[in-house]
Chain A
Amino acid sequence: MQREAKKLKVGIFDFTDCEGCQVKLVSLRERLLALLERVEIVNWRLGQEKNRMDRFDLVLIEGCPITQDEIDLLKLLRERSTHLIGFGTCATMGGIPAIMDQKERAKWYNKIYGPQYKPRGIDSLPLTSYVKVDFLIHGCPVDENEIVRVMEELLSGKKPAYRGYSVCFQCKLAGNPCRLINGKPCLGPVTQGGCGAICVSGGSPCYGCFGIRDTAQIEGLLDILKGMADKEEIERYFTMFLRYTKEYNEIVRPFMERENG
């Protein structure tokens, strides 16, 4: 008799964010149904009514942990899960919530809500600032094919791997004119590929939401960027999604400080 493989127990949680990455999960449609043949979703607030807190084989976390409750839940989920995966750029790098400026925020709280207001938000840091995370599915939003790829690797018992190429691969395949050659800033060459170069194809720059590619030549790109943008603009590009990356703090910031000289 053929033994039915044990279904993986999955939990999908979300912290502060727009929930757009979960929409991407739903938009897998038939592929989501195929996935449900292999996994049991035991907790998904957005997707089902009955949820329970169990032990999880796999937890996907969308969003940025901002309040104490979210941070506590994150730590609890880490304890109860075998694989914990950041799902989307808010979870993996802080994303849009992390653009906030602490000082400005205090000023506006005071102005809008008055001095009595007690803010619930503590900080906006990526998951990795609080717990060990096993894999990061970057993207604002995540890409459907990347979700499937990572799930396929996990289900077949492999360790998921990051893409070893830049956004430029798919950008060239799409036949886009190169922004950098045309004097317009772009972080595509240092950004992990897999997004389909969707932003550049649509006329926008790449801001690096897919995370920095392995061994990216950031100083080389900075040398190119400084010929076409001022310091503030370069700073804006790198702080849209990448301000909590090691590369931003260890390479971009010192480079900008040297440039200020």
Chain B
Amino acid sequence: MIKNYKMEPVIERNSIPSLLKILSSDYSIIAPQERNGEVVFDDLKDPECLVLGYKVTILPPKKYLFPPEEILFTYSGKGVRTPSITSKKLLIFGLSLRDLEAITQLDEIMSTPHPDYFYWKRRSRSILVGVTDESVHAPPGGDLILERMDDELYRAIPLTQAGKKIVKGRFFKKQDILPHKGEGNQVMEELRKLLLDPETLAEAVKWSRAEGHPVWEELGKRCIGCGICTYVCPICHCFSMENSVSLDGSTCTRCRKWDACTLPGFARIAGGYDHHPSQKKRYYNWYYHKFVRGYKEYGKSQCVACGRCQTYCPARIDIEKELLGIVKDYREACG
């Protein structure tokens, strides 16, 4: 008879706060918590405040690896200085599988063609621990994933040396794991399926633009250009630079700041020429980068269907529905 279970490390739900308390002596812990009725990633001061099984956070965890505003260097008469990170290593806990996948993509983007020094400065000092209600088939990234078996128990799936080290701790024990079926993830389920065929998605989006599909005219009118879809995206990584000279005239500072392609300055160049002079063009660029350029450069769409852009769009643009519509029209037109 074939044994259909095996001994695997597990941790009880009740032990997770104690585990985090122990880990906090080595790491600064970031974890999802509730603020004003929303779930956000923040410093975990009290492990009891940890929220698991949440739908989605407003900002993705990328803010800890690629901060919204970051001083790259300062220059004074004494030369150039790059701010150093003196704090403890970072442990980001409670990431969803899609957020883990997004960071795996960001790692790749931030390594090509040259490693982004400032991103890796933080990333190389961070540990990612995913927690999910879904069944984990192919781990999308991170150091350790805790997969929920039932209300009391999580199966530990260590993926790196750092993850293995955590699992060796006293809160984990070995137990027989029966095959089980986790919950599905209903967020953007249809888009998720589309992402399995990034080539079609890329062709369809490119086609829609070339053929003057009316969707872009309509979305160009509806988009209010607030930039939120970009800020909340776990993969969007465009930035602008701001240079300043201190009030006393002694120090120059270069700061990089999240930018959004739906904003006016994004494609404006010296002399004032704007490559994207209309909201329609700016809005299309967001899709172009994710689905056309992303595919061309990395062989996949720069989207993990986390649902944030749709959840937090003040104009309530149903991005999944629009993309499905474009792909449907493309298939009908091009067979």
Contacts and interface: CB of A to CB of B under 8 A. Distances in A.
A166 B249 contact: no
Contacts of A112: none
B265 A168 contact: no
Interface stretch (A9-17, A65-73, A146-154): A146-154
Contact of B247 (A151, A166, A181): A151
Interface string A209-225: 00001111101110110
Interface stretch (B93-101, B180-188, B219-227): B219-227
Contacts, number: 106
Contacts of A155: 245, 247, 249
A148 B227 contact: no
B36 interface: yes
Contacts of A169: 68, 227, 231, 258
Contact of A156 (B59, B223, B245): B245
Given A152-B247, A169-B227, 19 more contacts: A5-B249, A34-B246, A37-B248, A38-B247, A156-B249, A164-B240, A164-B263, A166-B226, A168-B231, A168-B314, A172-B231, A173-B68, A177-B37, A188-B226, A213-B264, A216-B225, A220-B221, A220-B222, A221-B224
A189 interface: yes
A242 interface: no
Contact of B244 (A38, A149, A188): A149
**Sorted from nearest, which 4 A-B pairs have the closest CB atoms?**
A164-B265, A189-B226, A180-B314, A156-B245
A2 B225 CA distance: 49
A215 B314 CA distance: 17
B222 A214 contact: no
Given A188-B226, A190-B224, A172 B312 contact: yes
A178 interface: yes
A189 B59 CA distance: 17
Contacts of A172: 58-59, 228, 231-232, 312
B315 interface: yes
A217 B223 contact: yes
A165 B227 contact: yes
A165 B260 CA distance: 8
Nearest to A28: B247
Contacts of A168: 226-228, 231, 314
A176 interface: yes
B38 A31 contact: no
Contacts of A214: 264-265
Interface of A: 5, 31, 34-35, 37-38, 148-149, 151-153, 155-156, 164-166, 168-169, 172-173, 175-178, 180-181, 186, 188-190, 213-217, 219-221, 223-224
Contacts of A217: 223-225, 279
B20 interface: no
B3 interface: no
B35 A175 contact: yes
B305 interface: no
From B68, B223, B226, residue with most partner A Cβ within 10 Å: B226
A187 to B, nearest CB: 11
A169 B68 CA distance: 9
Nearest to A156: B245
A230 B63 CA distance: 38
B157 interface: no
B249 A38 contact: yes
Interface string B189-222: 0000000000000000000000000000000011
B40 interface: yes
13 contacts: A34-B246, A34-B248, A38-B249, A156-B244, A165-B260, A165-B263, A172-B231, A172-B312, A175-B36, A175-B40, A189-B314, A220-B315, A224-B316
Given A155-B247, A169-B231, A172-B58, A177 B226 contact: no
Please indicate which of the listed interface residues A5, A31, A190, A217 has the most CB atoms of chain B within 10 Å of its own CB.
A217
B224 A224 contact: yes
A149 B247 CA distance: 9
B248 to A, nearest CB: 5
B212 to A, nearest CB: 21
Contacts of A166: 225-227, 263
A35 B247 contact: yes
A164 B36 contact: no
B104 to A, nearest CB: 24
A216 B265 CA distance: 12
Contact of A181 (B246, B248, B258, B312): B312
Contacts of A151: 247
Given A176-B36, A181-B312, A152 B245 contact: yes
A166 B35 CA distance: 22
Given A35-B247, A166-B227, A189-B226, A224 B314 contact: yes
A118 B314 CA distance: 49
